[in-house]
Amino acid sequence: MKLSKKQARLRRATKFRAKNRENVVERLCVHKTSQHIYAQIISPCGTKVLASASSLKEKIQNGGNKDAASKVGLAIAKAALKANVSKVAFDRSGFKFHGRVKTLADSARDGGLEF
């Protein structure tokens, strides 16, 4: 039985979260749509959002490209450092690590976050 793209992505996301359940560090959680990209820093217990940034929140005109992902990565790094978070686990939500997701991760590292 072949999985749909969404089912495969959710399966990859579930595997990551199951492996890192006992991890005691904050998560940088990324979600993307065709028009926007979103990032959140979530507490280790998973109940509280410590910082967030998105192409929608940052008022980026074309939020579905690598330039927008780079700006969101810098914004989430700035917000995380303001919330006294410097070390995070990168949760890509099952999205493959290339394109906009990779650009966001690289710019967050450049902004001062440590993965």
pLDDT in tens, the chain (115 residues): 788 988 988 888 888 888 777 777 899 999 999 999 999 999 988 889 999 999 998 888 888 899 999 999 999 999 999 999 999 999 999 999 999 999 999 999 999 999 8
Residue 85 · residue 26 · CB < 8 Å: yes
The answer to whether residue 16 is domain-embedded is no
Range of the structural domain that residue 40 is part of: 25-110
pTM above 0.75, yes or no: yes
**How many domains, in total, are found in the chain?**
1
The answer to whether residue 7 is domain-embedded is no
- In terms of phi and psi (left: phi > 0; alpha: psi -120 to 50; beta: otherwise), the region of 4 is beta
Q: Tell me, what's the pLDDT at 99?
A: 94
Q: What is the CATH number of the domain that holds 71?
A: 3.30.420.100
The answer to whether residue 78 is domain-embedded is yes
The answer to whether residue 8 is domain-embedded is no
The answer to whether residue 77 is domain-embedded is yes
